[in-house]
Chains A and B, each alone.
Chain A
Amino acid sequence: MSELDTQFFRHEYGRLVAMLSRRVGVHRLEQVEDAVQEALTTAVETWPKSSVPENPSAWLYRVALNQLTGGLRLQTRRQKLAEHHDFTGGEVATDVPHAFLAADVRDDLLRMLFACCDPAIPVESQLVLALKVLCGFDVREIAERLFLTEANVYKRVARARSRLAEAEIELGEITPEELRARVPAVQSILYVLFTEGHLSSHVEGPIRLELCDEAIRLARELAEHPISATPETFALIALMHFHRARMPSRQDGSGGLLLLEEQDRALWDQSQIQDGLSWLARSAGGEAFSRYHAEAGIAAEHCMAASFAATRWDRIVECYELLDRVAPSALHTLNRAVALAQSQGPNAGLALLAGLEPPSWLLGSYLWAAVLCDLHRRANHRELAEQHRIVALDTAPSPVVRAALERRLHGQ
C-alpha cells in the first residue's frame, strides 16, 4: 500500500491528537500536538523510502506516543531536579498501543470533540480549536478559511488550550451523562462549521467546500456513537447533505453568486440528495422535533422541487413556522414571509412582516431591506421598493452579493 487517502495526514492528525489526549490528558494538548507533528514528519521522511507500514495509523501512534512520553519524562525529570528530588520514573504508561478498534478511535475522537465544546470556552474558540485539533488545519489555513487574521486565530487557539490546561480534564473520565448533556453544543458547533463553509456572502472555493465536508464527516461520526446517535444528529446530517447537494450550482462561471431561481438544477448532486433523504427518514424516528428537523425539511423541499415554480411553498411556510417555534428568530420570520409571498402573493408576506418588530441587527442588514424591496416591488409599491433597494445595495456585505441583489431587485 503506497496510496494514501487524499486527506490522510490531516485526518490522521485529528485521530492521533484525540487518542493521545485521552491517554495523557487534554491539559497536555500542546505537547500532544507537537508529538503528532513530529510523528507525521517522520512518516513523510521515511515512508517513501521504505514503504507505507501495513497499519499506518498504528505506526504513527507508536511514534507519536514514544515522542510524547520521552518529552514528558524529560519534563518530569527537570521538574524533579528543580525540586531537589530524585527522578523516579515516567508518569506516563508506555504499554503497547491499545487495539485500533474503529469504535475506540471513534470514541476518542468524539471525546475530543466534546472537550472542544467545553462550555467555559467561548464558542468562536471552540470552532477554531475543533478545526485545529480534529480537522488538522494549521493556524494559517484556519485564518484563510474563516476570514480571520492569523493573530486572531492564534489567540483563540491559545485561549481554548489554556482553558483545557487549567481544567485538567481526563477525557476518559467524562461520564456518559456529561457527554449526553454536551451533545447539543457539539451539534451546534458542527452546524456553525458547516455554515462557515456555506455562507453565501463569501466566494466559494474548494477550501470552503472542505469545511462543509469536514462538518459532514464529524457529524457522521457523531451519528455512529450510541450517545449522540439521536434524531437531532440525523436531521443535522440530512440538512448538511441537502445544502451540500446544491453547492455546485450556486456560482456562475466567473465566481458570481446565483440565486435559487437562477440555478441549474441539473447540477444538484443527486447522491447528496439521496443521502439527505435517508438521514431525514432516520431523523423521523423519535419524539423530538428540533430546529435541524425544520431546516432539513425546508432544504429537502427545495431539493425535491423540479423547478423554482414547482416548489411547494406552502410546505416551506409550514417548516419556517415550526422553525420559528423551536428556535425563535426574526430571521426565520423574514424567511417565512418570503415563502409566504411565493405561495400567497406579496401582500401576504408584507402583512406578516408588518407584525414583526425586527431587532436592530436585522433592520440594519441587507437581508431585511432586500426582502422588503422585493415584496414591495411585486406589490407595485414603487417608491417603497426603491427606498429599500438603495439600502439593500448599500449594506451588501460583498461585491458578489451586491451583484446578485442588483439583478434581483432591478427597477421596473
Chain B
Amino acid sequence: MPKFLCLQRSFPGGGQQAEKPSPAQMQAMYEKFNQWRDKFRDNLVDLGGRLGVGSIALPEPPPDGPLVEVKELVGGYMVVAAPSLDEALQIARGCPGLVRPGSGVEVIEIKTPG
C-alpha cells in the first residue's frame, strides 16, 4: 500500500491566538484522538510528532537569497498508508485538531522504487 507524508501546515491568520483548551476539552480531544487512531490503526504507519528546533547543512558557498526554513511552515508530520491519495487525505482530515482555522494538512505521496 502506498505511503503518504502528512505535513501539518500553519496558515497566516487565525489559530495562533486561539484560547487554550480547558482540561475538560483536552479530555474530549484525547478521547477523539484515540477513537481516530483506533479506527485507522492499520493505516497509521508513524504518528510522527511536532517539529522542534532545526538546523540546515548548507553547501559551500551558501546559496543566495533568504532561506525559508521548513519548520517555519510545517508544525508536525506523520506517515499514513492508504490505497490512494484521496483516502490518505480523508484519514489525515479525520485527525482531531489538525484541520482547523490557521492550520491544515498537506498530504504527499512517498515514491518508492518499483
Contacts and interface: CB of A to CB of B under 8 A. Distances in A.
A13 B19 CA distance: 17
A2 B24 contact: no
Interface string B1-30: 000000000000000000111111011011
Contacts of B19: 140
Contacts of A10: 22-24, 27
A137 B22 contact: yes
A47 B27 CA distance: 12
Given A6-B27, A9-B27, A10-B27, A136 B22 contact: yes
Given A48-B37, A49-B49, A137 B30 contact: no
B34 A136 contact: no
Given A45-B50, A49-B49, A9 B26 contact: yes
Contact of A44 (B30, B37, B48, B49): B30
A136 B37 contact: no
A37 B30 contact: no
A47 B30 contact: yes
Interface string A130-145: 0000001110110000
B77 interface: no
Contacts of A141: 22, 24
A41 B26 contact: yes
A9 B23 contact: yes
A9 B30 contact: yes
B47 interface: yes
A6 to B, nearest CB: 7
A40 interface: yes
Size bin of chain A's contact surface? 20 to 34
Contact of B30 (A7, A48, A136): A48
Given A6-B27, A8-B27, A48 B33 contact: yes
A140 B24 CA distance: 12
Contacts of B30: 4, 9, 43-44, 47-48
Given A49-B47, A49-B49, A40 B33 contact: no
A12 interface: yes
Contacts of A137: 22-24
Contacts of A37: 20
Nearest to A140: B22
Size bin of chain B's contact surface? 10 to 19
A69 to B, nearest CB: 20
A44 B26 contact: yes
Contacts of A138: 20, 22-23
Nearest to B35: A48
Contact of B24 (A48, A49, A136): A136
Contact of A12 (B23, B29, B47): B23
B26 A48 contact: no
A6 B23 CA distance: 11
B100 to A, nearest CB: 15
Interface in A129-163: 136-138, 140-141
B43 to A, nearest CB: 14
Contacts of A43: 26, 30
A136 B24 CA distance: 8
A50 to B, nearest CB: 9
A358 to B, nearest CB: 42
Contact of A9 (B24, B37, B47): B24
**Residue among A9, A43, A140 with max Cβ neighbours from chain B (10 Å):** A9
Contacts of B20: 37, 41, 138
Nearest to B27: A9
Interface of A: 2, 4, 6-10, 12-13, 37, 40-41, 43-49, 136-138, 140-141
Given A40-B26, A138-B22, 6 more contacts: A44-B30, A44-B33, A46-B49, A47-B30, A48-B34, A136-B22
9 contacts: A4-B30, A9-B30, A10-B24, A37-B20, A44-B30, A45-B50, A48-B37, A137-B23, A140-B19
